Amino acid sequence: MKNFLKRFYLIIILLFLYLPIVTLIVLSFNDTKTMGVWKGFTLKWYQDMFSNPQILNAFCNTLFIALLAAVVSTVVGTVACVGIMALSKRQKNAVLQATNIPLLNADIVTAVALLLAFGMFGISLSLGTVIFAHITFCLPYVILNVLPKLRQTGTIHFEAAQDLGATPLYAFMHIVLPDIMPGVFSGFLLAFTMSLDDFIITYFTRGAGINTISTLVYSQVKVGIRPTIFALSTVIFVIVLVVLLLSNFLPEKAEKAREKAEKEGRELTPEQRKKRRTAKRIGAGIVAAAVVAVCVLASPYVGAMAGKGEVIYFYNYGDYIDPDLISAFEAETGISVVMDTFDTNESMYPIIEGGQVSYDLVVAGDYTIEKMIENKLIQPINYDNIPNAANLEPAYMEILASTDPGNQYMIPYTWGTVGILYNKTMIPEGRITSWKDLWDPELAEHGILMMDSLRDTFMVAELILGYDMNTSDPDELQEVVDLLISQQPLVQAYENDSARDDIITESAGLGMIYSGEYLYCLDENENLDYVIPEEGTNVWFDCFVIPTNAKNKEGAEKFINFMLDAEAGLATFNYLTYPIPNAATMELIDEEIREDENVFPSQETLDLCDRFHYLGREADQVLASYWKRFRGN
């Protein structure tokens, strides 16, 4: 009975540890884009994975970084251990304390410390900074594994070998190293694992276009995760598992047979010996194969690093461009596009302002662009390189010219409104008319989603209170914050792009959403409807801009020109379902959709609306402090 309980307990703990892993593996075979329910078995995510350059790139980066960091830290760490043995007691203590720091330090502190140090020395972020950071936090694991083994081994054999005429290096390689090998191996393994699993440190120290699986997942968490990434991690998990099982346990088993034989004082039977040799060979073979595989995988990347050709670094919202258009552009021009993603204007701006990462092209919201112009972070665009700019709808260009005279800095990519998406099966059609409905306790049981975006979230409360959406008056903002705090108990979650998945899967009944998501969501769940509330809303433009520190301005302009083509505009509309300010594209869109006022609001509705503006540095700080007051509550 007691044993049964013990076993039962262990099984419960194991289940707990492995439940999420099993879930992910199962979901990677699930035939639906939005997770939740089982919709049948499919292998299509595995196919998708191999045709998605972004995912393959992240895969290569992850393994490349982990392998390099693990190898370097193993070599440096093992060598250092030998040196540490020679230190005086006090020196040794100092070094070991320093070794403990990265282990005990919070990841986020280590990460920002490295980021600040790179900044102080003017080192721009790149793959190199990520690898350096990884080596730094991997080293302690190696030291802690090797040092005890080295202590155990002692010096007698080493000295004996030297007495017999071996050079110190030879004696180390042939006498000491085999003895401490288990420690070196587990140090390597742990370093590799920690590097593979790291997110926070990579997130803060990566350069433009450097994505590992972790950072890719993080950007997808906000947009709504796709099963391709589950497929990818399943593949990695299985590869590492198989490699380690075979390389670790086969030789160990054979080793045990040998030890047993030795103990019993008999020779191995020829059969056992043969088995042992094969096991060793298989083990070594698998390790070698894994190393070769990783090198092959990493080679295109290393090639690109060495300067494969023209590249543009593109910073865009998550899932905000048709990937086929990027491939088409690359095929047409031979310029490769490396894209990073962000989720709100507020999180993009400090990256561009910091300048430690440089991009050639950025998609940004109009009010943030005003701020970028004022702080000279972006440069005028050369229209000579963009003949397709003639396709742009003049009415919109005029609106934008009010804050960017002569349309020098920004070229609109998409536009839209913010409204409420709701499920008609839960909430009767026509029931939602006002922003106030998001405060309705009756509707809260269906699940209300709010945006986690400073200006958009504040706007809702500002409009309800009858204030200007561009206010920075502290008294008004305090009321806004109070109103939003009073709503908190009713809100299921504050999220941006991932809100659409929750509404599609009916985990939530209504929520704030950008108008462009409406058609996409309707496609996935026909019970949905979109409303622009009677108080009005924000009309926004997302535009292409070119940062001042761009390295390939012409390439960026070529890309803008490509995107303004009528057909490319149509592809963008079909993929994003966001309105495109492109007159030539509009002619290609089905009339039925063109007349859908949810997507293309009438002039009457637009007259109710306003645009966000940049309010100046001080007002920005006021907004930020009230935002924190609200979010921290």
Partner 1 sequence: MFKKKWLTAPYLVFILCGTVIPLLAIFYYGFTDQEGHFTLENITAIADEEHAKALGLALLFALICTVVCLLLAYPVGLILRKHAGGRKGLVVFILILPMWMNFLLRTFAWKALLANNGVLNGILGSLNLDPIRIINTPAAVVLGMVYDFLPFMILPIYNVMVKIDNNLIEAAYDLGASGKTVLTKVLLPLSMPGIISGITMVFVPAVTTFVISQILGGGKIYLIGNIIEQEFTLNGNRQLGSGLSLVMMVFILISMALLNKFDKNGEGSII
Reading the block at residue 627, the tokens are: 């935002």
With respect to partner 1, which residue has the nearer C-beta, 139 or 584? 139
Q: How far is the CB of 453 from partner 1 (least distance, A)?
A: 10
Q: Give 313-327 as a DSSP string.
A: EEEEETT-S-HHHHH
Residues 6+ apart with CB under 8 A from 608: 532, 534, 535, 536, 537
For 18, 20, 68, 236, 336, the CA distances from 26, given in Å and listed in that order, are 12, 10, 31, 15, 35
Reading the block at residue 575, the tokens are: 């993929």
The answer to the question of residue 248 lying near partner 1 (CB under 8 A) is yes
Q: How far is the CB of 592 from partner 1 (least distance, A)?
A: 32
Q: How far is the CB of 128 from partner 1 (least distance, A)?
A: 13
The answer to the question of residue 537 lying near partner 1 (CB under 8 A) is no
Choice from 63, 67, 190, 339 touching partner 1 (CB under 8 A):
190
With respect to partner 1, which residue has the nearer C-beta, 43 or 241? 241
Q: How far is the CB of 377 from partner 1 (least distance, A)?
A: 12
Choice from 76, 397, 588, 615 touching partner 1 (CB under 8 A):
76
Residues 16-35 that bind partner 1 (CB under 8 A): 16-21, 23-24, 27, 35
Residues 542-601 that bind partner 1 (CB under 8 A): none
Residues 608-627 that bind partner 1 (CB under 8 A): 624
Stated as kind and residue range, the H or E segment containing 202 is helix 200-205
As beta bridge partners, residue 545 has 362
Choice from 36, 128, 251, 300 touching partner 1 (CB under 8 A):
36
Strand 361-365 to 539-547 pairing: antiparallel
Helix, strand, or coil here: 50? helix
With respect to partner 1, which residue has the nearer C-beta, 128 or 389? 128
Q: How far is the CB of 398 from partner 1 (least distance, A)?
A: 32
Q: Give 359-426 as a DSSP string.
A: -SEEEEEHHHHHHHHHTT-EE---GGG-GGGGGB-HHHHHHHHTTSGGG-S-EEEEEEEEEEEEETTT
As beta bridge partners, residue 340 has 315
Q: How far is the CB of 111 from partner 1 (least distance, A)?
A: 9
The answer to the question of residue 15 lying near partner 1 (CB under 8 A) is no
Q: How far is the CB of 509 from partner 1 (least distance, A)?
A: 11
Q: Is 165 left (phi over 0), alpha (psi -120 to 50) or beta?
A: left
Judge contact between 70 and 246, C-beta under 8 A.
Answer: no
Q: Number of residues in contact with partner 1, rule: CB under 8 A? A: 115
The answer to the question of residue 521 lying near partner 1 (CB under 8 A) is no
With respect to partner 1, which residue has the nearer C-beta, 146 or 418? 146
- The half-sphere exposure of 204 on its side-chain side, counting CA atoms within 13 A, is 18
153 exposed, middle or buried (CB, 10 Å; 0-12, 13-18, 19+)?
middle
Choice from 122, 309, 428, 632 touching partner 1 (CB under 8 A):
632
Judge contact between 564 and 388, C-beta under 8 A.
Answer: yes
The answer to the question of residue 117 lying near partner 1 (CB under 8 A) is yes
Residues 311-370 that bind partner 1 (CB under 8 A): 346-347, 349-351, 353-354
Choice from 1, 4, 40, 120 touching partner 1 (CB under 8 A):
120
Choice from 240, 490, 609, 619 touching partner 1 (CB under 8 A):
240
Listed residue (413, 406, 486) closest to 450, CA to CA: 486
Report d(CA 496, CA 343) in Å as an integer.
8
Contact track, partner 1, 262-291, x by CB under 8 A: ------------------------------
Residues 42-61 that bind partner 1 (CB under 8 A): none
Q: Is 412 left (phi over 0), alpha (psi -120 to 50) or beta?
A: beta
Choice from 141, 301, 317, 320 touching partner 1 (CB under 8 A):
141
64 exposed, middle or buried (CB, 10 Å; 0-12, 13-18, 19+)?
buried
The answer to the question of residue 225 lying near partner 1 (CB under 8 A) is yes
The answer to the question of residue 199 lying near partner 1 (CB under 8 A) is yes
Residues 462-501 that bind partner 1 (CB under 8 A): 488, 491-495
Choice from 15, 108, 242, 295 touching partner 1 (CB under 8 A):
108
The answer to the question of residue 152 lying near partner 1 (CB under 8 A) is no
| Segment interacting with partner 1 (CB under 8 A) among 106-114, 356-364, 407-415, 417-425 | 106-114
Encoded amino acid at 426, one letter: M
